[in-house]
Amino acid sequence: MLSIKTIQRWLSNNFHSLEDQAVKIFVKSPFNFTLYHNLTLRGQVIPLPYVYSTTCWRCIIRTRSGKNVPTHVSPSEDEDQTHLVVRFLRDCSTNEERELEESVRQAFCSELDLLPFYQKASKDANFLGVIKRLRGLKPYFSQDPFEALIKAVIRQLVRADAARSSIAMVVLRFGTKDTVEGKSYHGFPSPEELSSATKNELLECNVGYKWKLIEKLSYDVVSGDLDLYELAGLSDEKIIQRLTMYRGIGYWTSRIFLYDGLKRLNAYPIRDISIRKAISLIYFQRKPISWEEVELFFRDYKDFIGIATNYLFGALWLERSIQRIQMQDFNVRENSGQPIPQYSFCK
């Protein structure tokens, strides 16, 4: 029979109190924590399943064993070094804490060095104007491959705002929810939760005809017919070949999964309408361009496809932000008779 001291020593070595369960993750500079929220969410606070604000990020992270852990992340700067302060708000073993920490590290691309990309773009006057405005912007990834795949399906052929709205509905309807310290935390639905959803329940989340594919993918993950973690050991081409066996998954969705689900930065599909729109905005004064022009751009940035794509999207976000400012300013100045200034996203 174990003594009390032995049990206490074992607990001390394997579990941490909530107060002690805060770790610091070093993030390679430059890194701007608030840019993603300001540009992509524009002040919205909706569960995707993460809730992202200018001061913190919070989400329920599910471990490989199925444990749901509310997790709180906030930025911290010490002596010109940027860190993420991560608090796990449920008791965790040492191994679970390591797994959760790695999940946060990958989601925020903490080890990604932007400086080689900045150096490459330093002679590109057009793109450099955007990059200077977005210095420190890093890609942000989903927590696990299943979440990334379902999100990629939902995002097919819809505007970004509509996709976020549908994702939030799915999270609220089927996902995990917890409240800690007066704050709500949300987790993306598990394959089991989505595989048991009915057609009508999914349709109420505005996913349209894609409900059937979401159901099929969820069921196959539960049954083991589709092992998303096993796919991680395959080449891009073999993964695309496997996923496109599903009716409703094509080249674009497969590559979004490679990028967001498996964190393969250079896998992003460059034949993306938003990418073409951004390149037109930056280099061609918004004039229509061909896919050949898009491919020509990425020849120069072939080693930085994912990062460059993030900054191209950033250009579109900046343009929309400026349009909102112009509209607000126009209304104020029109009423007062003041001249209306011109804004430029690249300055």
Whether residue 194 contacts residue 174, with contact meaning beta carbons closer than 8 Å, is answered with yes
Cα–Cα nearest to 188, from 31, 11, 47: 47
Q: CA-CA distance, 302 to 314, in Å (whole number)?
A: 19
Nearest to 18 by CA among 69, 67, 66, 52: 69
What pLDDT does residue 325 have?
Answer: 53
Question: How is domain 18-267 classified at the architecture level of CATH?
Answer: Orthogonal Bundle (1.10)
pLDDT of residue 342: 52
Q: How confident is the model at residue 20 (pLDDT cuts 50, 70, 90)?
A: very low
> What's the CA gap between 266 and 220, in Å, rounded?
27
Predicted TM-score (pTM) of the model is 0.87
| pLDDT of 335 over the 80 cut | no
pLDDT at 347 over 60: no
% of residues, the chain, pLDDT over 70: 85
Residue 73 CB coordination number (10 Å): 19
Instruction: Look over the chain and give the mean of its residue pLDDT values, rounded to a whole number.
Output: 89
Asked whether the predicted pLDDT for residue 304 surpasses 80, the reply is: yes
Specify the pLDDT at position 43: 62
Q: Does the pLDDT at position 163 exceed 90?
A: yes
3-state helix/strand/coil string of the chain: CCCHHHHHHHHHHHECCCCCCEEEEEECCCCCCCHHHHHHHCCCCCCCCCEECCCCEEEEEECCCCCEEEEEEEEEEECCEEEEEEEECCCCEHHHHHHHHHHHHHHCCCCCCCHHHHHHHCCCHHHHHHHHHCCCCCCCCCCCHHHHHHHHHHCCCCCHHHHHHHHHHHHHHHCEEEEECCEEEEECCCHHHHHCCCHHHHHCCCCHHHHHHHHHHHHHHHHCCCCHHHHCCCCHHHHHHHHCCCCCCCHHHHHHHHHHHCCCHHHCCCCCHHHHHHHHHHHCCCCCCCHHHHHHHHHHCCCCHHHHHHHHHHHHHHHHHHHHHHHHHHHHHHHHCCCCCCCCCCC
Model pLDDT for residues 279-299, shown as the tens digit of each residue: 999 999 999 999 999 999 999
Mean pLDDT, residues 146-175 taken together: 95
Q: Residue 321's pLDDT is what?
A: 75
Integer Cα distance of 224 and 262 in angstroms: 18
Q: Please give the pLDDT value at position 79.
A: 72
Percent of the chain with pLDDT over 90: 76
Which pLDDT score is estimated for 341?
54
**Which is more confident, 38 or 18?**
38
1-5, 51-55, 199-203, 280-284: segment of lowest average pLDDT? 1-5
> Residue 340 pLDDT > 70, yes or no?
no
Least confident window among 108-117, 302-311, 325-334: 325-334
Q: Are 340 and 329 in contact (CB under 8 A)?
A: yes
Q: What are phi and psi of 186, to 5 degrees?
A: -130, 145
pLDDT for residue 13 is more than 50: no
Q: pLDDT (tens digit, 9 = 90+) per residue, 230-278?
A: 999 999 999 999 999 999 999 999 999 999 999 999 999 999 999 999 9
